[in-house]
Chain A
Amino acid sequence: MPDAASSFQRIPPDELAWLGTGPIPARAYHDPAYFELERQAVFLKSWIHVAHVCELPEPGCFVRRDLEFARASLLIARGRDGVLRAFHNVCTHRGTQLVEEASGRQSKFTCPYHMWTYGADGALLSAPDFEAFHLDKPACALPRVALQECGGMLFVNFDPAAPPLRAWLGAYAERLEQMPAARATTFSQYSYEIDANWKLTYDNFQENYHLRFIHPRSGGAGIGGDNPFGYPASLGFDGPHRTQRIWSNPAPDLKPFQRAAAMRGLPAVAEQGLLDLPFGRDYLAFFPNLFVIGTPTQPFSHTVYPISADRSRGVVRLYWVGEDGNASTRFAREYALAQLRDIHCEDIAMIERGQKGLASGALDHIHFQSMEALCRHLFNEVDSRVQAHARLRGERP
């Protein structure tokens, strides 16, 4: 039997030096001017995760998603033809927001102002006294936004020239399709708003360097032996996206109730074949702001939506196959949610503290070590887009 104390081999820092080793400009994490360039060059030109297909199982099902970075409210609906589409949630008459409900199911959407009525495919069906407008109904359809799906995850893109989602996701598209989330029929969710830049927030979840310090109790199972920081077993990069394989602690420090709770969830997960999926220890980070974790007993996604240079919104979803089939499954799922929320609340406390420190402009630079390579990779990918966009506009990046 292998010695638990010799299970870990740290990735040599030189293997990651191609990402650069120098300091990172601090203003990228607090400057409103930099954020505005990011908004234009990154968020309005990337595929952004907004929903999951299980939210829209039937024709007429819809969700509303408000995306501050685009100053837009979107209506995502499944048409009578079964096709999923995204529209701007805006009546084409005079711009009134069409839908206030966060989700629902209906075959038509009627603007309360002058009763213009649209189908779930976005077509204008009727409008009172329409002849007086000198317009054709087809020209008055709801404005479309590109919507595509991979592994059950729905993404939108505001750039009319965007590449197809699959090309954007690259080699990790196939991995996403083998995550538990791809099989999910339901999910649990919690969300938060945070006084912090989106990258500062997201970066917290890209490195394990902090685990032993701010999660000494809640994150205890992921550190130990000769891997006291819980560093990843491997890292990978593909275009703007990145991945890490979470180290398997051979002797996790699980408390008795914690172990019992996890065991109660295993039979259903095993029956669903989720224990046999190939990426169960993997974290997939999709540029710019989504990551997905394949842990079978706690599979989740985390999306960090930017609101302003120093404010963001995080949405965490635990994805499940089937409704709660029995009491043990219900118990294990609720425990998994509460456990993850415990860890994340310790993170947001520290992230806000980081933003407060950066906001003064006291630091010109911040620093990433080799085991914070995913943070550096995100900065590199963002900054190259910001610099190119600024050059195009003749602005200072």
Chain B
Amino acid sequence: MNQASSLPDGFTALEPFVAQWGLSGTARRAAQRTASSPEAREAFFEAASPLLEAALTWLDDRDLATLAPAGRQLMDLMLSLGHVALAVEIQGPDEVKSAVWRDRMRIDRSTADQGISSCSN
């Protein structure tokens, strides 16, 4: 692992996105999708989507329960990327108008949240 990075080697290009998108908890990731700007979502999608396959392959070689902090950070980034991809790739111009209604649907529970405190969303 690169000492200057919080991410595993090979994924340090995503370092600028960690502060905004390296979030634990499905509801927090969903909320960040709504809170972010279109420019931030598009920049993250453009930088991270080409790394999806490599990141998941790297992570699949490791036990989720005992992931080191760098691996956990990469996992959280990829999970955020899923939310962002829906906004950028699918919803596009409809993202803004649907966000209001989406936030009415409270995420109560997610299998990704084992051991993570819940978040009001």
Contacts and interface: CB of A to CB of B under 8 A. Distances in A.
Contact of B89 (A194, A255, A334, A348): A255
Given A192-B104, A264-B56, A330 B79 contact: yes
Nearest to B82: A335
Contact of B64 (A187, A218, A330, A335): A330
A164 to B, nearest CB: 30
A334 B108 CA distance: 13
A191 B108 contact: yes
A217 B94 contact: yes
Nearest to A347: B101
Contacts of B47: none
Interface string A183-203: 000111111111000000000
Nearest to B62: A327
A190 B105 contact: yes
Contacts of A133: none
A111 interface: no
Contacts of A330: 64, 75, 79, 111-112
A327 B60 contact: yes
A192 B64 CA distance: 31
Contacts of A264: 56
Given A258-B89, A264-B56, A190 B78 contact: no
B79 A331 contact: yes
Contacts of A337: 26, 107, 110
Q: Which 4 A-B pairs have the closest CB atoms?
A: A327-B59, A345-B101, A335-B82, A345-B102
Interface of B: 26, 29-30, 49, 52-53, 55-56, 59-60, 62, 64, 75, 78-79, 82-83, 85-86, 89-92, 94, 98, 101-102, 104-112, 114
Interface of A: 186-194, 216-218, 220, 255-258, 260-261, 264, 316, 320, 323-328, 330-331, 333-335, 337-339, 341-342, 344-346, 348-349
